[in-house]
Amino acid sequence: MALDKKDIAKRIAKELKDGFYVNLGIGIPTLVANYVPKGIQVEFQSENGILGMGPFPYEGEEDADLINAGKQTITSLPGASFFDSAMSFGMIRGKHVDLTILGAMEVSDKGDIANWKIPGKLVKGMGGAMDLVASADNIIVAMMHVNRKGNSKLLSKCTLPLTGLRCVKRIVTELAVLDITSQGFLLVERAPGVSIQEIKEATAGKLEIPAVVPEMQF
Amino acid sequence: MINKTVHSVKEALEGVSSGMTLMLGGFGLCGIPENAISELVRLGSSDLTCISNNAGVDDFGLGLLLQQKQIKTMIASYVGENAEFEQQMLSGELEVILTPQGTLAEKCRAAQAGIPAFFTPAGFGTEVATGKENRSFHGKNYVMEEAYQADFAFVKAWKGDVTGNLIFKGTARNFNPLMCGAAKVTVAEVEELVPAGELDPNQIHVPGILVNRIFQGQDYEKRIEQRTLRNI
């Protein structure tokens, strides 16, 4: 059975390692914070200027001066720090952030990503996405395998304007975990009960299928 | 002690005229110079180029300037929250230059620090790099970006003293410190203006040398864009 968004976030949370500084994008990535494995310490960075971001505030405790990059009210945890936007992107470009998790509209089998613009539709802007994908060594994309029209989002070449070139390392969708390798998309895991055939049909780019593809564990 | 205090927002904005390039601090509605924006609306200056990470919402922040059609060019990284913005952009009345957020921050910082241009990996291989010099360093590709040139910078701080020293609160810091000293004239508005000596020099985020005018702001609304609460 295909995963829901919470399950995708749960699976990605297994990628978190003790001591990681992590930047979470808007959407499914934000949910990852709810599933940090027990026994490890990570700190979440939000590019508008906080490290040590905590959960949403309780009613009455919200502070207009404390938001995340999605403009939502948040809290800060013990050990948190605030900084300006140049420092924030300095720590991103300087590769001090260990893991970036973000959403995408399309990913190519070379690791190109498109997630900011659909020509002919309203363009909202790239925000910090271009800086993040151009700099981070460890980028995981959280997205659905196909778009609303049923077309694959895992392509041989992105059709939408690019956010970054050859930068994505791993993709987690409702159907599978895939790595970007020199051979294209390498199928690493499949969602419980999802067949390899289903994944093949939903993947337009080059797909490498090993002899054994284990089911995801949670 | 050099006193930078001005006694009204009107005095703070003296010299602003149509056609100027303005920097405005803030991320979303967090840490925006509310008083300066209200005064810009009152002044009615037009054909403005505004450099700000976002463009406000329909009835607050830079959205107020958009309502009056005072902005000709908007330089921002993300502009999603504003129907008036959308309408003016689609009709061609408003020119929009979308800039990666880290690049926008660094273009301010470079202007502040006397750096005319710099290389960043952000946007390499995308349409953002079109027409810009690309260069490779140590096997990685970069895009050259130039420092901004602006007439006024409007920033908002939590506390300031009469010499222009500033302290910010929480994530309301964002672009504000980077815009100080990045334009010909920097105007800081603060929630609390104190005499010299009351702020601990160890805790100053922006030294007063980067601020030309400082004033005590009035009636801060500090609107929250996405009030998100924890489920109990």
Distance from CA of A147 to the nearest CA of B (A): 21
d(CA B205, CA A96): 22
Q: What are the boundaries of each domain within chain B?
A: 9-115+149-216
Q: Do B178 and A161 touch (CB under 8 A)?
A: no
**Cβ pair B173:A134 closer than 8 A:** no
Instruction: Say whether domain B9-115+149-216 belongs to CATH 3.40.1080.10.
Output: yes
CA distance linking residue A194 with residue A175, whole number of Å: 6
Distance from C-alpha of B54 to C-alpha of A124, rounded to nearest angstrom: 10
CB contact under 8 A, A161 and B227: no
Q: Which of residues 48-107 of A touch B (CB under 8 A)?
A: 48-50, 55-59, 62-74, 76, 82-86, 88-89, 92-93
Give the pLDDT score at B98.
96
- CB atoms under 10 Å from CB of B172, counted, come to 27
Q: What pLDDT sits at residue A120?
A: 81
Work out whether the CA dihedral B15, B62, A50, A94 comes out positive or negative.
negative
Query: Could you write out the three-class secondary structure of A60-97?
Result: CCCCCCCECCCCEECEEEEEEEECCHHHHHHHHHCCCC
Between chain A and chain B, how many beta carbons pairs sit less than 8 Å apart? Answer: 171
pLDDT of residue B54: 96
What are the structure tokens assigned to B129, written together? 């790099």
Predicted confidence at residue A85, as pLDDT, reads: 98
- Tell me which chain A residues have a C-beta less than 8 angstroms from the C-beta of B232: 58
A5-208: in CATH 3.30.1490.270: no
Burial string for A109-144 (b: 16+ CB within 10 Å, else e) reads bbbbbbbbbeeeeebbbbbbbbbbbbbbeebbbbbb
What share of chain B has pLDDT > 70, as a percent? Answer: 100
Domain boundaries, chain A: 5-208
- How far, in Å, CA of B154 to CA of B34, rounded? 9
Residue where the block lists tokens 């030294």: B207
CA distance B157 to chain A (A): 11
Tens digit of pLDDT for each residue in B163-220? 999 999 999 999 999 999 999 999 999 999 999 999 999 999 999 999 999 999 999 9
pTM: 0.96
Tens-place pLDDT, residues B74-87: 999 999 778 888 88
Cite the active site residues of A: 47
| Whole-angstrom distance, CA of residue B168 vs CA of residue B166 | 7
The pLDDT value given to residue B86: 85
Burial of A72 (0-12, 13-18, 19+ CB in 10 A): buried
* pLDDT (0 to 100) of residue B213: 98
Q: Which residue of B has its CA nearest to A81?
A: B170
Residue A50 · residue B224 · CB < 8 Å: no
Q: Do B105 and A71 touch (CB under 8 A)?
A: no
Burial B128-164 (b: 16+ CB within 10 A, else e): bbeeeeeeeeeeeebbebebbebbbbbbbbbbbbbbb
**Residue-wise pLDDT tens digits, B4-34:** 999 999 999 999 999 999 999 999 999 999 9
Complex-level ipTM: 0.97
Tokens standing for B28?
């979303």
Nearest to B149 by CA among B115, B198, B101: B115
Residue B80: the pLDDT is 74
Fill in the DSSP letter of residue A111: S
**Is the distance from CB of B210 to CB of B112 less than 8 angstroms?**
yes
pLDDT in tens, A5-48: 999 999 999 999 999 999 999 889 999 999 999 999 999 999 99
Q: Which chain A residue has its CA at the smallest distance from B141's CA?
A: A134
With a CB cutoff of 8 Å and minimum separation 6, the contacts of B96 are: A123, B73, B74, B75, B76, B79, B89
Q: What stretches of chain B show up as alpha helix (H) in DSSP? A: 9-12, 34-43, 63-67, 83-90, 101-113, 176-179
The region, left, alpha or beta by phi > 0 then psi within -120 to 50, assigned to residue A75 is: beta
Instruction: For residue A112, give how far its alpha carbon lies from the nearest alpha carbon of chain B (Å).
Output: 10
Q: What are phi and psi of B206, to 5 degrees?
A: -130, 120
Nearest-angstrom CA–CA distance, A108 and B30: 36
Q: Which amino acid is at B160?
A: G
Judge: B86–A47 Cβ closer than 8 Å, yes or no: no
pLDDT means per 10 residues, chain A with 218 residues, are 92 97 92 95 97 95 96 96 98 96 97 92 90 94 95 98 96 98 97 97 98 93
Around Cβ B83, how many Cβ atoms within 10 Å?
12
Beta strands in A88-217 (DSSP E): 99-102, 106-108, 113-114, 139-142, 154-155, 170-172, 176-181, 184-190, 207-208
Chain mean pLDDT for chain B = 96
Tokens standing for B142? 């970069």
Query: CA B155 → CA A53, A69, A154, B214, distances in Å?
Result: 24, 19, 43, 10
Contact predicate B217/B191, CB 8 Å: yes
Please check the confidence at residue B232 and state whether its pLDDT lies above 70: no
Distance of CA A154 to the CA centre of its chain: 15
